[in-house]
């Protein structure tokens, strides 16, 4: 399965899993994921790190911190959040999985993602 198929099928599965759960937090995750999916269907993957309003990081970073997941290491064990972080990476990096990014690309992706988290937490 190539990255496009992996991305599309897993996003569809995640959207299905989120449907029917109307809690605010799940609805927030679903909204972002739906935006990502719609963009992908219409345009494919965006240029690297250009769609900050469609980052999954603000919807997942607190859970990752609570669960002791170090998403800032490229080859870290992402446990139960692996799929969410992989989907974000693929979308934000022109269809590349975390392990496919060079060290420099991954560093830029982490700087970009942390800046999005900072903006999201300051706007609350």
Question: Mind listing the pLDDT tens digit for each residue in 92-104?
Answer: 999 999 999 999 9
User: How many structural domains are present in the chain?
Assistant: 1
Task: In whole angstroms, give the CA distance from residue 6 to residue 90.
Answer: 10
In whole angstroms, give the CA distance from residue 47 to residue 45: 7
**What does the alpha-carbon distance between residue 48 and residue 15 come to, in Å, rounded to a whole number?**
23
Distance CA 114, CA 88 (A): 13
* Ramachandran quadrant class, 51 (left: phi over 0; alpha: psi -120 to 50; beta: rest): beta
Q: H/E/C letters for each residue in 24-77?
A: HHHHHHHHHHHHHHHHHHHHCCCCCCCCHHHCCHHHHHHHHHHCCCCCCCCCCC
Q: Cα(67)–Cα(87) distance, rounded to whole angstroms? A: 19
For position 124, what pLDDT does the model report? 56
Rounded mean pLDDT, 28-55: 94
Is residue 116's pLDDT more than 80? yes
CA distance 46 to 22: 29
Domain extent for 49: 3-122
Which tops the pLDDT comparison, 124 or 28? 28
What distance in Å separates the CA atoms of residue 92 and residue 46, rounded to the nearest whole number? 7
């Amino acid at each position: 399965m190539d990255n496009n198929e992996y991305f599309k099928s897993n996003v569809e599965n995640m959207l299905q899993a989120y449907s029917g759960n109307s809690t605010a937090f799940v609805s927030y995750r679903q909204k972002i994921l739906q935006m990502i999916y719609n963009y992908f269907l219409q345009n494919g993957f965006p240029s690297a790190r250009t769609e900050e309003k469609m980052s999954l990081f603000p919807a997942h970073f607190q859970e990752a911190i609570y669960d002791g997941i170090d998403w800032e290491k490229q080859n870290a064990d992402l446990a139960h959040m692996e799929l969410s972080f992989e989907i974000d990476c693929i979308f934000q990096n022109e269809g590349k999985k975390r392990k496919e990014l060079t060290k420099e690309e991954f560093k830029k992706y982490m700087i970009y993602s942390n800046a999005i988290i900072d903006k999201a937490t300051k706007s609350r």
